[in-house]
């Protein structure tokens, strides 16, 4: 009898909670939403946060305030979001750094990227592009691999620091091709690309948005892009698959999470609105300008994507022995 009573009580609580969550979602949002961005103002992540924040504001009539909390490889702002009240009024502009690399790179990032968060959606993916110094004799990916194998440990790739997407892009390339190339970290993406132009380094892996201006100016030669098809604007740049490396998959990605415990009905409502926004012509054009492809998948699909990315970078970081200073 006691077990039956407890089971009935638990079922009743579940029904009440489900009803309450649905009612909250129906009225949501009724006040300002804080969107934490673990990056400084002005960068690509910040621009995307403001783009989607504005679309949510327009759709719901409630202000979405961007709260920049940069530092420690995105872990400061991400940990802050993990501790927020799970009511849908604090969201996180997450990324490959916050939910792919940093949890594997830092001994104690201050949060669990899976247990402490409810996935909402993958907003966009920015494919990596491989570029070499314009004076390099290398004209293709296969020529680069052959040159690296003939000079083990001598070719250098420029990065924005340990654990950056530029660094991960190079490590994935090393892992796939079994070549020995040297990571040369700089204080940011700008100085890294300057080193490539000047000839201090031989190659760099960076997003199309960051590197394409220099490619167009004839200062860097693009060899391949990590995309399923060629960019329509740059039909002469082959994909990595066309260049002989179909398994190469490296990119930067931007996404949205909420604190764990946020009602599923609210997560679903945010997901639906973000998917609608991604399909808008002006948003698609802005993403194109930022060198990104819009996605907009389901919370379940996005959750599986994050787990796969965590596993990939865990293996890569351990194999390469990457550590933060």
Q: How many domains does the chain have?
A: 2
**pLDDT band, residue 290 (cuts 50/70/90):** confident
More confident position, 322 or 132? 132
Q: What is the mean pLDDT of residues 190-211?
A: 94
Does 272 share its domain with 282? Answer: yes
- 232 assigned to some structural domain: no
Does 110 share its domain with 137? Answer: no
Q: What is the mean pLDDT of residues 49-56?
A: 98
Q: Is 72 left (phi over 0), alpha (psi -120 to 50) or beta?
A: left
pTM of the model: 0.87
pLDDT of 21 above 60: no
More confident position, 21 or 237? 237
- 294 assigned to some structural domain: yes
Does 13 share its domain with 121? Answer: yes
The DSSP H or E segment spanning 28 is none
Q: Respond yes or no on whether the N-terminal peptide bond of residue 29 is cis (omega within 30° of 0).
A: yes
pLDDT of 20 above 60: no
Burial class (CB in 10 A: 0-12, 13-18, 19+), 42: exposed
Q: Which residues constitute the domain of residue 168?
A: 127-225
- 325 assigned to some structural domain: no
Q: Are 134 and 203 within 8 A, CB to CB? A: no
Does 16 share its domain with 84? Answer: yes
- 152 assigned to some structural domain: yes
**Per-residue pLDDT at 208:** 87
- Residue 272: give its domain's CATH number: 3.40.190.150
- 310 assigned to some structural domain: yes
Does 51 share its domain with 112? Answer: yes
- Residue 185: give its domain's CATH number: 3.40.190.10
Does 15 share its domain with 102? Answer: yes
**pLDDT band, residue 43 (cuts 50/70/90):** confident
- 24 assigned to some structural domain: yes
Average pLDDT over all residues of the chain: 92
Does 92 share its domain with 102? Answer: yes
């Amino acid at each position: 009898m006691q077990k039956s009573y407890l089971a009935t009580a638990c079922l009743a609580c579940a029904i009440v909670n489900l009803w309450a969550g649905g009612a909250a979602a129906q009225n949501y949002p009724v006040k300002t939403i804080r969107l934490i961005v673990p990056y400084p103002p002005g960068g690509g992540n910040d621009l995307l946060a403001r783009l989607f924040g504005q679309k949510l504001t327009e759709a719901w009539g409630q202000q979405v305030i961007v709260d920049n909390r940069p530092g420690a490889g995105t872990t400061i702002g991400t940990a802050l979001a993990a501790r927020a009240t799970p009511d849908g009024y604090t969201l996180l502009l997450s990324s490959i750094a916050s939910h792919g690399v940093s949890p594997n790179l830092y001994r104690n990032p201050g949060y669990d990227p899976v247990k402490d968060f409810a996935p909402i959606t993958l907003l966009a993916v920015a494919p990596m592009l491989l570029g070499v110094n314009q004076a390099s004799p290398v004209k293709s990916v296969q020529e680069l691999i052959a040159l690296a194998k003939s000079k083990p440990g001598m070719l250098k790739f420029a990065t924005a620091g340990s654990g950056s997407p530029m660094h991960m892009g190079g490590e994935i390339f090393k892992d796939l091709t079994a070549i020995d190339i040297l990571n040369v970290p700089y204080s940011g993406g700008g100085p890294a690309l300057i080193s490539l132009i000047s000839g201090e380094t031989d190659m760099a892996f960076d997003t199309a948005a960051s590197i394409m201006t220099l490619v167009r100016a004839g200062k860097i030669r693009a060899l391949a892009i990590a995309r399923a098809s060629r960019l329509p604007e740059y039909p002469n740049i082959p994909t990595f698959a066309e260049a002989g490396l179909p398994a190469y998959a490296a990119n930067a990605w931007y996404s949205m999470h909420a604190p764990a415990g946020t009602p599923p009905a609210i997560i679903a409502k945010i997901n639906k609105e973000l998917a609608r926004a991604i399909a808008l012509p002006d948003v698609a054009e802005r993403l194109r300008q930022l060198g990104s492809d819009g996605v907009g998948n389901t919370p379940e699909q996005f959750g599986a994507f994050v787990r796969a990315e965590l596993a990939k970078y865990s293996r890569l970081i351990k194999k390469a022995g990457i550590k933060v200073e």
